[in-house]
Amino acid sequence: MSSDLMILKPDVVIEPLVSRWHAWSHLISPATSALNLQFRLLAQMESFVSDPALHELALKNPSLRGGPFVDLPVDQADQVKELVQITKTNQQDLISFGLALKEAFNQVMKHGDGSSLEPLYAQLPEAVRGYVELSYSLGGYPDLRIIESLLYLSPLYDTNNQSAMIYRQAGDDRPFVFSTPRLSHPSAIDLNLPFKSPIYDFLASLRSVPQGLDFIIEKLGFSGSDKELFLSFLEPASSSKNALVKPEKDRIRWRYFGHACVLIESPDGCNVLIDPVVAYDDANGIARYTIRDLPEKIDYVVLTHNHSDHVALETLLALRWKIGTIIVPTSGGSLADPSLKLMLKAIGFKQIVELGPMDSISHSDVEITAIPFLGEHGDLDIRSKAAWLVKIADKKLLFAADSNNLDPKLYDFIHRAVGSIDTLFIGMECQGAPMSWVYGPLLPMSLDRKKDQTRRLNGSDFPRAMKVVESLQCKKVFVYAMGMEPWMQYITSIDPSEDTPPMVNSTAFVKALKEQGIPALRLYGQYELYEN
């Protein structure tokens, strides 16, 4: 065996899985995982098994893009059937908890008539007792709160269901994460280790830190066909290109990595990475930055809200070994609002800071402030969301992500508190999916379709975005977080066509700003700018 220094090829994917599904935060938190397992994942797989041809036909219809249709060949129905049985066996306790949780919620809604809820505790399903608190809103509506930290300490949080697939990705196309399980196949290695395992950090470091081949194989413990396959994922360190280009001295630089991911680097060397979702290398695709374009150490990772295109566990695990601190918005504690801090801690992140609205943290020449964030969550009481103000010297950059300017007064008050904004990044995915697209499995009962369609997971449209600019007196504006990049489609399933409402609104927005003399651009792929 050779001792040559080797590195991972840039198109190698390490895709984290929970019960063979692409891992996202709602599959980590035990309560949301229980409900998603029973009322989304198993339901979709059983539907595919019963009529795989129907799923194949539906996937050919563009209007059903992002729907609950399994993107696998018809002849793999037996493998999916086997996965259904494995899931029901291995996750029996968690599935039972989800069913009991749904029953408990229905009991509270049925019997919570304004009288004391105390008698209901003894009537709750045994599986949820001790894990929930019953309450009324001030308006008299009954509710159920999860004591989430206890669930993470219980057998319901079972890391045996966490794993990863290691494979090379040709191009950007991957099956949609919400509809399709990841089945084992000969060109991929199954890594059956919990996410907190340091092996994930070792694999991630192999993207930029060369190691001897003997040491790599010994460290990973691969043998047989897995060993031979993994050797094909490596290349000599001498053949890899170092893409990292450091910023010019004493200048503020930011780089757009696609969707909502932006890296800000300060003159003092401090850096902040917003909502990391980083593309893999693709010589035949559009220009993009990759992990090799990121600094050797990331001082702060900042997450805006708990949706899979902003909290991407695949990228976060790939960066964990070089992240100093992760900053997240505080959770409200409702079933639909699981704690980002608890989730990240459970999967092995060490330094996590929660900030509430208008709270700040400072380091070196950088100050980061959580800014109130309205909308984009279908009117649910979800508080783990924040826009982020990054202040460096006299420059203020605001990352507003998918926030929807439902009440323009908010930004008037924000301007009063923080002053004018030099550079605004604002998402304008103003169409959005109905609320049930993400939160349907958590609902105690189905929502009327007409009402569901009115409760969208959407950001600001042209008029609302323009009012943000006016209120904050922004000097430059960039539209981002549109989900257009090809490497985002397996997460967002967004139609990037120019005639869609988000594209029409953002095009008109950028044009109107330029006519007012305000520099504006809709970002796509990659972009770099110096702020001074």
What's the rounded mean pLDDT across residues 190-202?
98
pLDDT tens-digit profile of 110-161? 999 999 999 999 999 999 999 999 999 999 999 999 999 999 999 999 999 9
Measure the CA–CA gap between 85 and 463, rounded to whole angstroms. 50
- Tokens 């950028």 label which residue? 510
Name the pTM for this structure. 0.96
pLDDT in tens, 288-306: 999 999 999 999 999 999 9
CA angle 517, 518, 521 (to 5 degrees): 125
Residues 6+ apart with CB under 8 A from 495: 62, 65
pLDDT digits (tens, 9 = 90+) for 6-33: 999 999 999 999 999 999 999 999 999 9
pLDDT of amino acid 62: 87
Per-residue confidence at 318, pLDDT binned at 50, 70, 90?
very high
Confidence at residue 3, expressed as pLDDT on a 0 to 100 scale: 57
d(CA 127, CA 136): 22
How confident is the model at residue 285, as a pLDDT? Answer: 82
Which tops the pLDDT comparison, 240 or 336?
336
Given this model, what pLDDT does residue 28 score? 98
| pLDDT at site 242 | 67
Domain limits, the chain: 1-91+158-240, 253-524
Average pLDDT for 450-462: 95
The sheet with strand 5-8 has its strands ordered as 211-212, 5-8, 234-236
Share of the chain above pLDDT 70, in %: 99
Q: Which CATH class is domain 253-524?
A: alpha beta
Look over the chain and give the mean of its residue pLDDT values, rounded to a whole number: 95
pLDDT category of residue 191 using cuts at 50, 70 and 90: very high
Q: How far is CA 328 from CA 149, 196, 342, in A?
A: 17, 19, 11
Q: What is the pLDDT of residues 341-380, one digit of tens each?
A: 999 999 999 999 999 999 999 998 999 999 999 999 999 9
What is residue 1's predicted lDDT score, i.e. its pLDDT?
Answer: 43
Q: What pLDDT does residue 410 have? A: 97
Whether 2 shows a pLDDT value over 70: the answer reads no
pLDDT for the residue numbered 239: 75
Are 325 and 300 contacting, i.e. CB atoms less than 8 angstroms apart?
yes
